[in-house]
Chains A and B, each alone.
Chain A
Amino acid sequence: MNPILEAHGLGRTLPGERPVVLVHDVELTIERGCFTTIVGPSGCGKSSLLYLLGMLDRPTAGSLLFEGRDMSGLSGDVLAQTRLARLGFVFQFHFLLPEFSALENVMIPMRRLGRLAPDEVRARGFALLAEMGLESKELKTPDKLSGGERQRVAIARALANDPALVLGDEPTGNLDSVSSARVVETLRRLAHEEGRAVVCVTHDLDIAALSDVRVEMLDGRVEKVTDQRAGR
């Protein structure tokens, strides 16, 4: 076990006259070098849990340990800085900034972090896009790219600051099977070869079958966690 993220009793309830429970009492450990998938019926709270794990949303119950540090109660600025430096998100829809070219989109996290010199940022941007098989597409704006290409740009952007944890919310949900297979292959490589923790929400049971750990959710709860590595 090499945990990067630990959820203990994690819960999220929307306040209101009739409170809505999105996530309830989740115990979960995410490991480095491991490709984890979250599956479950629509509306069971997969995305909600992912937002909590990615520190985009704040839990209303329980605690979250990231790299051994309790994240609950930290300021929004600290959480943002953590997302910037340590996390990468990929969503179902590509979510690229429309005014920026593919290269510029990939450069955004690096430029905001400001650790690399401008020419290094540029070089790394080209390298990441090349890794995603997007040579010669660098200067195109998102509207000039196909859906699969956009998603690969989004992955390249998620990897820009060399994150320890990559989170995907149905990253292949909008792609044809060929593109989808490529993306999954990439995600597996990120975990197995680069030692990152990868967590993906998916509807696709084939993808779930390919993952190392499968988390099944129902009604906001984690029903079952299966480690699929043992059988292989």
Chain B
Amino acid sequence: MNLRGISFLVSIAVRHLARRKRQTAVAVSGVAVGVGFFLAVSAMMIGSQNDFVEQLIEAAPHVIISDELRSPSPQPGTRRFGEGAVDLRGYKVRTEVRGIKGWQGIVEAANAVPGALASPSLTGGVTLRLGGHEEALAIVGVDPEVETKISTIEDQLRVGRLRDLETVQGGIIIGEELAARLGVKMGDIVAASTSSSKARSMRIVGLFRKGQAMISSNSGYVLLREAQSLLGRPFIINRIGIHLDDPYAAQEVAARLEQRFGYKAESWQERSSEFLSLLVTRNVIMYSVVSAILLVASFGIYTVVSTSVSDKRRDIAILRSIGFSERDLQLIFVLEGIMLAAIGVIFGWMLGYVLMEILASLRFPIAGEDESVPLDRSTRQYVIAAASSFIAGSVAAWLPARKAARVDPVDILRGAA
């Protein structure tokens, strides 16, 4: 059939729909509401998800190599004799020297990965003391110059800069809450000690903003050298953070490094696998709800087309006698469904746009900051909504349209004549 023929079938379908305005309006609103709410809900869901994943990605290095081993390394006895004839029990376990051995080599290897930057650090526990007050603190010794490039700690500072650690002798950066508990402010001196070393004075050179989910309120940053001497472990590091230009390569890079060096290398995905699987669940829920809405919308389309077919049996017989084929008739009624979907999609797009504008204008305070709803307003969602409505509409119309094709004109003509 040529284009003229098709456009003619469209015009017949339009006439049919124009005849039943109220039903058409109901079916169209069904689709429109479905599409509109899908757009609004998915914009929120995807927006918050992107926001969240971004935080996950940027909160900590994309890959973290630690001094842990996934499985304890075999004891010398087992290594010597293997699993075979001898079963060794009750031997004295050699304590591992904690820290990453040969870390310079690992850092070098990590930096050799394109787009990767590695920052070695040492973490350990200290006690901060001021007056009679004591607080346990996990200190992280870093090289500020490299660390600022691989993490977002710099952005999370309320006051001060990471680089200040280099210029101030014994500088330390701690969280706002901890500072409040100790009653210290910028520039104040606190005493830090470990079980094995005597106390040493440290000066507060920066404060983290509170409410940073990814930085524990009980951790503090110092210079790597400072941490090594404070913890009594010179030249040792126990963590290498790696930043990647492409965060989604983290799993692969982590696996390669772990394979090569034996130390546990954790990607951000692995670290947050629980969160990520939660996101999958969220998406499943969202798309099920959307499918349900569209299913309901397609019931409306089904009803309109189905009553249209049974009302128009006579017209179907006329058109068949004129020379319209079964396929033409089926197409007319499928077109009715597609048009209902199309009009619904257009109104739904408008509704969704308005809903998103409203959501975007909302502001509410979270932890003292005026936050807006994170929205993902990509055209992809508009396309998905339209495509699924068209599919739902065509299927819903196709079922009764087959009935239209099967109408035997002779039966109708006999009945009427």
Give chain A's interface residues, CB within 8 Å of chain B: 47, 51, 54, 56-57, 76-77, 80-85, 87, 89, 91-93, 95-100, 108-109, 111-114, 118, 157, 161, 169-170
Contact = CB atoms under 8 A, between A and B. Distances in A.
Contacts of B1: 114
A89 B410 CA distance: 13
B81 interface: no
Interface in B363-417: 409-410, 413-414, 416-417
Contacts of A89: 321-322
B19 A56 contact: no
Given A92-B417, A99-B19, A77 B325 contact: yes
Contact of B324 (A91, A112, A161): A112
B72 interface: no
8 contacts: A47-B414, A51-B413, A56-B410, A57-B410, A91-B417, A95-B416, A112-B328, A161-B323
Contacts of A82: 323
4 shortest A-B CB distances, which residue pairs? Answer: A84-B323, A83-B323, A80-B325, A114-B4
A87 B323 contact: yes
B8 A93 contact: no
B323 A114 contact: no
A85 B18 CA distance: 29
Contacts of B325: 76-77, 80-81
Contacts of B5: 111-114
A100 to B, nearest CB: 7
Given A97-B315, A98-B315, 19 more contacts: A47-B414, A47-B417, A56-B320, A56-B413, A76-B326, A77-B326, A80-B325, A80-B328, A83-B322, A85-B323, A87-B323, A93-B416, A100-B15, A111-B4, A112-B8, A112-B322, A114-B4, A161-B323, A169-B413
Contacts of A91: 321, 413, 416-417
Interface string B298-338: 00000000000000001101111111111110000000000
A95 B318 contact: yes
Nearest to B329: A80
A97 B1 CA distance: 22
Q: For the complex, would chain B's binding face be called helix, strand, loop or mixed by DSSP majority? A: helix
Contacts of B324: 80, 84, 112
A114 B4 CA distance: 6
A223 B253 CA distance: 93
A157 B319 CA distance: 11
A170 B323 contact: no
B417 A99 contact: no
B196 interface: no
B203 to A, nearest CB: 87
Interface in B5-62: 5, 8, 15-16, 18-19
Nearest to A92: B417
B18 to A, nearest CB: 7
B361 interface: no
A170 B417 contact: yes
A97 B318 CA distance: 8
Nearest to B318: A95
B322 A54 contact: no
A118 B5 CA distance: 11
Contacts of B4: 111, 114, 118
A43 to B, nearest CB: 11
Contacts of B195: none
B2 interface: yes
A161 B184 CA distance: 97
B410 A99 contact: no
Contacts of A93: 416-417
Contacts of B327: 77
Contacts of B8: 108, 111-112, 114
Given A111-B4, A114-B4, A56 B15 contact: no
Contact of B322 (A57, A76, A84): A84
A80 B328 CA distance: 10
A118 B317 CA distance: 25
Contacts of A98: 315
Nearest to B411: A57
B16 A112 contact: no
A100 B312 CA distance: 13
Which of B8, B15, B326 counts the most chain A CB atoms within 10 A? B8
Which of A77, A80, A100, A161 counts the most chain B CB atoms within 10 A? A80
A47 B315 contact: no
Nearest to B15: A99
Contacts of B314: 95
B18 A99 contact: yes
A33 B319 CA distance: 27
A89 to B, nearest CB: 5
Contacts of A118: 4
Contacts of B19: 99
B323 A109 contact: yes
A89 B321 CA distance: 7
Contacts of B326: 76-77, 80
A54 B321 contact: yes
B314 to A, nearest CB: 8
Contacts of A97: 315, 318-319
B213 to A, nearest CB: 63
Given A97-B315, A100-B15, A114-B2, A108 B322 contact: yes
